[in-house]
Amino acid sequence: MQKEYDLIIAGAGPIGMACAIEAERKQLNYLIIEKGALVNSLYNYPLYMTFFSTAERLEIGGIPFTNITSKPGRQEALEYYRRIHEYFKLKVNFYEEVLDIDSNEEFKNVKTNKSTYQTKNVIIATGFYDIPIYLNVPGENLAKVSHYFKEAHPYTGQKVVVVGANNSSVDAALECWRKGADVTMVIRKGEIHDRVKYWVKPDIENRIAEGSIKAYFHSSVKSIQEKFVTVSTPDGELEIANDFVLALTGYRPDFEFLQKCGIEISNDGLCIPNYNPETMETNVKGIYLAGVVCGGMETHKWFIENSRVHAEVILGDISAKCKS
């Protein structure tokens, strides 16, 4: 197996794939290394998730994304990106994880759980969906607690506490309620977040207003037990009878991995990586960032639709350096 490359891309999500397509077009010798399946984060999204973006805004490589409805769902997106992978014959090592990137002046040694590769450049396009933002409360490690939501069927006839008020929390609460769960939401702020999909926000607000879904605002989970959850509310602590907890409080990039690679992270709580927005190159020469990983804790800033351009920017810079 070849071990020397012009470029290694960590992550086979839509943005990592877009970077690989640009590398193909510039005739660079590249490899994508992906620790899971193709577009692994999308694969792990809820089964019936609908994207906020329209189909054309999810396109990469100039290949049209045709869809019957205006907004595609998870299944349509998986099919589209599978076809992209097949069409461009992208070079991907699946189920291999990048563990470290050791840099010197000319080359980088990319160490994985299976091998070590030498490359002139690295693009980190690893997204943010792998590490939940934990509640850090007693009982969070119980089997009844999940930080991901796949589908509502397992919660039929069960008492479910959903923590959070963003898109993932709202979608889970509505789906579980519609499939026969007794749903209670615990929300840190005083309202449903304004970034919730505009066609879903009135739905959840109406279900709360009519009492179909119970909601405690300005509240937080204090502890989780086998049969109940203790919640701190403006009126004091409550014990809520409970079978399952969906702690959907968001996710974050792997900052520890970035720092291990030598990339500086801001210490202001936002954890923004140090990179040049004109080239996407980090403070480590030859290591670039692409996609949502650029936003640190502000994971809402970058999406497929507005970070597709990172591929052209990065490969333009790498190509220019190769010619100089």
Domains and CATH numbers, the chain: 4-131+251-323 (3.50.50.60), 134-247 (3.50.50.60)
How many CB atoms are located within 10 Å of the residue 20 CB? 29
- As a whole number, the mean pLDDT across the chain is 95
* pLDDT at residue number 63: 96
Residue 12 has pLDDT above 70, yes or no: yes
* pLDDT at residue number 2: 62
Residue 79 has pLDDT above 80, yes or no: yes
Residue 153 has pLDDT above 60, yes or no: yes
How many percent of the chain have pLDDT more than 70? Answer: 98
Q: Does 113 or 107 have the greater pLDDT score?
A: 113
pTM value > 0.75: yes
Residue 323 has pLDDT above 80, yes or no: no
- Residue 320: pLDDT band (50, 70, 90) is confident
Q: Which residues pair with 260 in a beta bridge?
A: none
Range of weakest confidence among 157-161, 260-264, 295-299: 295-299
Q: Is 73 exposed, middle or buried (0-12, 13-18, 19+ CB in 10 A)?
A: middle
* pLDDT at residue number 1: 57
> How confident is the model over 40-58, as pLDDT tens digits?
999 999 999 999 889 999 9
Residue 209 has pLDDT above 90, yes or no: yes
- Cβ within 8 Å of residue 138, ≥6 positions away: 223, 224
Residue 61 CA: distances (Å) to CA of 150, 203, 320: 29, 36, 20
Residue 221 has pLDDT above 80, yes or no: yes
> How confident is the model over 183-204, as pLDDT tens digits?
999 999 999 999 999 999 999 9
Q: Is 29 exposed, middle or buried (0-12, 13-18, 19+ CB in 10 A)?
A: middle
CA torsion through residues 75, 78, 81, 82, sign: negative
User: Helix or strand or coil: residue 229?
Assistant: strand
- Residue 303: pLDDT band (50, 70, 90) is confident
pLDDT mean over 291-298 = 94
- Residue 324: pLDDT band (50, 70, 90) is low
Residue 147 has pLDDT above 80, yes or no: yes
* pLDDT at residue number 105: 65
CA torsion through residues 239, 244, 249, 254, sign: positive
List phi, psi (to 5°) of 294. Answer: -70, -25
